[in-house]
Amino acid sequence: MRFDVITLFPELFEPFARVGVTRRAFESRAVDVRLWPLRDHADDTYRRVDDRPFGGGPGMVMMVEPLVKAMAAIRADQAAAGHERTPVILFSPAGRPLTQARVEALAHSPGAVLVCGRYEGIDQRFIDGHIDEEISLGDYVLSGGELPALTLMDAVARLQPGVLHDAASHQQDSFSDGLLDCPHYSRPEVLALPDELAMPGVECAVPPVLMSGHHAHIARWRREQQLAITRARRPELIDQARAAGRLSKQDEQFLKTLL
Ligand code: SAH
């Protein structure tokens, strides 16, 4: 799959190409990321890409023409590479909130063009002419669409086959079955800290069921932890899981005990 990213700040993407899961994804070519610096498509000698808003008001607006030219360059490149036209996503607080379901759908798609806004946002005519979908990271305002683009590509990259060291690990993540994740523990089995590092009120031993070697009991404990945490923190996700038929009779019985 490929992501074509239109951005004023391509250098923000470099560290992610060098480290961790995103590096493995990008290097493996499972995710082909191409950066399209918007300034390359500005036509006056000042390489201007933003201008004052008509009607007045604070801030600057990203101009429509450089964006249209960048899109044309991307379409030409996709055609030359024999790659199909991918949908165009704009990051915006006015978009639909990003969900794991959307990430999974994208992970199984040919990719997308990602448009990173800056300043007050982009000229509406580019949105009307080219944008297929607007995605928000949440109800707060960032200074640019680059972190949202990196967020989306990170979430998609870790779902690519062979990119995570343990292929099963993302099947256990929060949201993969509509519920939040259970707690995790590793060595030591019983924590013995010197007084000055003590954590009052924290149980020093790992929950015994995890040491039992009994796989069915462990799976049940984890499922119940997921249900209890999700019920306490994000009750609407329980309703959604129920509506999607993802709760078993046993799950429902356990949820009743929480009331
Ligand atoms: N004036 C705009 C905010 C512009 S912030 C408004 O009030 O809606 C500049 C850019 O940052 C936006 O164009 C968008 O690409 C990005 N951005 C800011 N907050 C975002 C969010 N919550 N989700 C996705 N993108 C966001």
Pair (94, 8) in one structural domain: yes
Q: 158 catalytic, yes or no?
A: yes
111: domain CATH number?
A: 3.40.1280.10
What is the pTM (predicted TM-score) of this model?
A: 0.94
Shortest-distance Cα residue to atom 3 of ligand 1: 120
In sign, the C-alpha dihedral spanning 18, 23, 24, 29 is negative
pLDDT more than 90, % of the chain: 88
For residue 169, being part of any structural domain is answered with no
Residue 191 forms part of a structural domain: yes
Are 135 and 50 in the same domain? yes
Q: Do residue 145 and residue 182 come from a single domain? A: no
Distance separating alpha carbons of residues 176 and 104, to the nearest angstrom: 9
**Ligand 1, atom 12: nearest CA belongs to which residue?**
117
Give the residue from 149, 148, 169 showing the smallest Cα distance to 158.
169
Residues 141 and 209 in one domain: no
Instruction: Identify whether 40 is part of a domain.
Output: yes
Same domain, 123 and 182: no
Considering only CA atoms, which residue is closest to atom 23 of ligand 1? 136
* Residue 147 CB–ligand 1 contact under 6 Å: no
Residue 143 lies inside a defined structural domain of this protein: yes
Last residue of a domain, one of 124, 157, 190: 157
Report the distance separating Cα 100 and Cα 240, nearest Å.
Answer: 13
Going by their DSSP bridges, the two strands 111-115 and 88-97 should be labelled as parallel
With respect to residue 111, please indicate whether it lies within any of the assigned structural domains: yes
Residues of the domain holding 214 = 174-257
- Residue 124's pLDDT band, with cuts at 50, 70 and 90, is very high
- Cβ of 117 below 6 Å from ligand 1: yes
Q: Kindly state whether residues 190 and 148 are assigned to the same domain.
A: no
Distance CA(105)–CA(96), nearest Å, equals 15
Query: Do 22 and 148 lie in a common domain?
Result: yes
**Residue 168, domain member (yes or no):** no
**Does 102 have pLDDT greater than 90?**
yes
Same domain, 60 and 134: yes
Same domain, 240 and 115: no
What mean pLDDT is reported for the chain? Answer: 95
Reported as a pLDDT band with limits 50, 70 and 90, residue 2 is very high
Q: What whole-number distance in Å separates Cα of residue 14 and Cα of residue 220?
A: 42
Domain boundary among 129, 157, 185: 157
Is the distance from CB of 5 to CB of 114 less than 8 angstroms? yes
pLDDT digits (tens, 9 = 90+) for 12-60: 999 999 999 999 988 988 999 999 999 999 987 888 999 999 999 999 9
Whether residue 93 is found in the same domain as residue 6: yes
User: Is 92 inside any structural domain?
Assistant: yes
pLDDT at 173: 85
65 and 122 housed in the same domain: yes
- Three-state SS string across the chain, please? CEEEEEECCHHHHHHHHHCHHHHHHHHHCCCEEEEEEHHHHCCCCCCCCEECCCCCCCCCEECHHHHHHHHHHHHHHHHHCCCCCCCEEEEEEEEEECCHHHHHHHHCCCEEEEECCECCCECHHHHHHHCCEEEECCCCCCCECHHHHHHHHHHHHCCCCCCCCCCCHHHHCCCCCCCCCCCCCCCCCECCCCHHHCCCCCCCECCHHHHCCCHHHHHHHHHHHHHHHHHHHCHHHHHHHHHCCCCCHHHHHHHHHHC
Return the amino acid letter for 133. Answer: E
**Number of domains within the chain:** 2
Residue whose entry in the numeric block shows the structure tokens 């995605």: 135
Which residue's CA is minimally distant from atom 26 of ligand 1? 92
Would residue 164 count as lying in a domain?
A: no
Read off φ and ψ for residue 73, nearest 5 degrees.
-65, -40
CATH at 219: 1.10.1270.20
Out of 141, 146, 152, give the residue to mutate to test ligand 1, the one with the largest number of ligand atoms within 8 Å of its CB: 141
| 207 and 142 together in one domain | no
Q: Is 91 in the pocket of ligand 1 (CB under 6 A)?
A: yes
Active site residue 173: yes
